[in-house]
Structure 1
Amino acid sequence: MIDYIAGTLLILGAGFALVAGIGILRFPELLTRMHAATKPQTLGLLLILAGLALRAQDLGDITVIVVVAIFQMLTAPVSAHMVGRAAFRTGFVDKSRLNAIEIPDKS
């Protein structure tokens, strides 16, 4: 039974990674490509790591898998934020297409 669950997690993770790759190629602008590069790719990697952890026999292997998962969860949002911020500041983002919340004047 564990083999079937691990195989399902591996296939789902590979599917999410495939969707991320297709999104990077197909989406038209930087912010949507950045979303495709971070969200489904991270979930795909975590699913693959969960499938690997189910099949791992050694505590050292499981430790490495957990470290990789933690590192991915810490670095993907930060790197996406920095790329988005740099793109916004250098003018690669069309500011007119962003939905900004207008704060009414209190005067």
Structure 2
Amino acid sequence: MTLVIEILISLCLVTAGVFGLVGSYGLIKLKDTMQRLHAPTKATTVGVGGVLVASMLYFLLIKGSLSFHELMITLFLFLTAPVSAHFIAKTFIQAEVTEKDLPDPEQEFGWAVFDDAPSYPDDEGQDQNS
């Protein structure tokens, strides 16, 4: 019986590790901001959740005690990660950010250059930077 339990716990840990690895790789390699948002959300939800579920199973089935703290962390994670990702996506869509507004990922330190900062008109149409 303990072999089955250990296999189940190991399966949860391996699944969590795979999702964490794929989510990290997706964050680096995906091109669009909305795609980049999707990869780490799945990595945190399934990756960290898998580790917490494996730990809960270990303490429940091997040690014989229920870990209430890990249960609360898992519930909090499963509720907040998708909601926060949804809010970030809605903000990105409402800001109407286009690809030309984003920094060039090929340019070294392109995100830190402030010499040619764009000027934005205020409510009356006047330029704020001039």
The structure where helix makes up a greater share of residues is 1
1:27–1:33 contact (8 Å) kept in structure 2: yes
Q: For residue 110 of structure 2, what is the aligned residue in structure 1?
A: none
| Structure ID, larger Rg | 2
Q: For residue 73 of structure 2, what is the aligned residue in structure 1?
A: 68
Within 5 Å, give how 1:14-33 maps onto structure 2. 14-33=17-36
| Paired residue type of 2:69 | V
Runs (4 or more) in structure 1 with deviation over 2 Å come to: 91-94
Deviations 1:28-77 (A, max 9, x none): 01111111121243112222112111211333xx2111101110111111
Q: For residue 36 of structure 1, what is the aligned residue in structure 2?
A: 39
Q: Percent identity?
A: 27
Extract unaligned runs of 5+ from structure 1.
95-107
Give TM-score, length-normalised by structure 1.
0.76
The reply on whether 1:50 has 2:45 as its aligned counterpart is no
Higher relative contact order (CA 8 A, sep 6+): 1
| Paired residue type of 2:15 | L
Q: For residue 87 of structure 1, what is the aligned residue in structure 2?
A: 92
Extract unaligned runs of 5+ from structure 2.
100-130
2:24–2:43 contact (8 Å) kept in structure 1: no
RMSD (Å), alpha carbons: 1.6
Give TM-score, length-normalised by structure 2.
0.64
**In structure 1, what is the Cα distance between the partners aligned to 2:55 and 2:20?**
16
Residue aligned with 1:28, SS: coil
**In structure 1, what is the Cα distance between the partners aligned to 2:69 and 2:29?**
33
Give the number of aligned pairs. Answer: 92
**In structure 2, what is the Cα distance between the partners aligned to 1:75 and 1:92?**
25
**In structure 2, what is the Cα distance between the partners aligned to 1:89 and 1:3?**
47
